Structure 1
Amino acid sequence: MQKLNTKLITLPKIADSRGNLTVAEAFDNVPFDIKRVYWLYEVPENGSRGGHAHRRLQQLLVAVSGACHVTLDNGYERKTILLNNPYQGLFIDKTLWVTLDQFSPGTVCLVLASEGYNAADYIEDYNEFLKYVKCSK
């Protein structure tokens, strides 16, 4: 059975009288080479994002402002994590079904990705995902 391979990573928080600064560096506090960066924002009330899995892509999600829930599913178990800290990133390994929802107003969620965009890497049908994880054992 595929493990729910995810973990919260505390990123360095550098604080002084001017405010705070947090750094994410590939292969240092981010466990992969960063090939793409994007962010989610202005998600409508009761809206959700994600709702798919990736065959190869790994991600680090950071709620740089606001909060949201991230539900992870490996085909056998589910886990929901609250992202609400701008110096904590949620590492998400490949082959996990991911859904983000319950966005607070003004949330900005930054995503660091291990691969560039590739439509063939997405699994967007949950039943197809279940077949994929069962065959990948």
Structure 2
Amino acid sequence: MTLKKKRMMNTVPRVIELEEHGSYNMGFLTPVNENKQIPFAIKRVFWTHGANKDTVRGNHAHKETEEVIVAINGSVEIEVIMEDMKRQVFILDNPCQALYLPPRVWRTIYFSKDAITLTLASTDYDPEDYEKDMVNWLQRDYSDEKFYDQ
């Protein structure tokens, strides 16, 4: 039997530009659609609010969940570390920009005062999907059969 790795299209964090409609007089609307601007079917939506300028959240990776994060108020700095230890920092300070985070990416989120983030997720909440220990995450073996065609 020959194993060949499944093709995964969404494996790198990236900024998604979102359209906005409206004006400064009327306000703005920013629509998103699953499998269009959002590269997955949306199973869960949550938001984080009440942050102060010293708030740090995240500090975890997901085993299977894909996420898109939007700073709908204020700004957030999101530090991501990929499995190959490449590090990137993204600053979201515009509600027309979103950050796509694939599974298996470590994220740490730094909030500005009064920042509000909206997160769209590809799975229902499952505490088993979270890897909160960076040492375990770095040592994790993703050669599991579910990632391969047989």
TM-score (norm 2): 0.83
Unaligned runs of 5+ in 1: none
Q: 2:88 and 2:31 mapped to 1: Cα distance?
A: 27
Which of 129, 132, 136 aligns to 2:137? It is 129
- Asked if 1:47 is matched to 2:86, the reply is no
Name the CA distance, whole Å, in 1 between partners of 2:49 and 2:35: 27
Corresponding residue for residue 148 of structure 2: none
How far does residue 91 in structure 1 lie from its aligned partner after superposition? 0.4
Instruction: Please report how far the alpha carbon of residue 4 of structure 1 lies from its aligned counterpart in structure 2 after TM superposition.
Output: 6.7
RMSD (CA atoms): 1.5
Matched residue type, 2:135: N
Tell me if structure 1 keeps the 8 A contact 2:22–2:29.
yes
1:130 match: secondary structure: helix
Consecutive unaligned residues of structure 2, counting only runs of 5 or more, are: 1-9, 144-150
Indicate yes or no: 2:112 matched with 1:104: yes
Structure 1 residue aligned with 2:21: 14
Q: Moved runs in structure 1, 4+ residues, more than 6 A?
A: none
Contact kept in structure 2, 1:4 and 1:72, CA below 8 Å: no
Q: What TM-score comes out, normalization by structure 1 length?
A: 0.91
Query: Percent same amino acid among aligned pairs?
Result: 30
Structure (1 or 2) with the larger CA radius of gyration: 2
User: What is the aligned partner in structure 1 of residue 104 from structure 2?
Assistant: 95
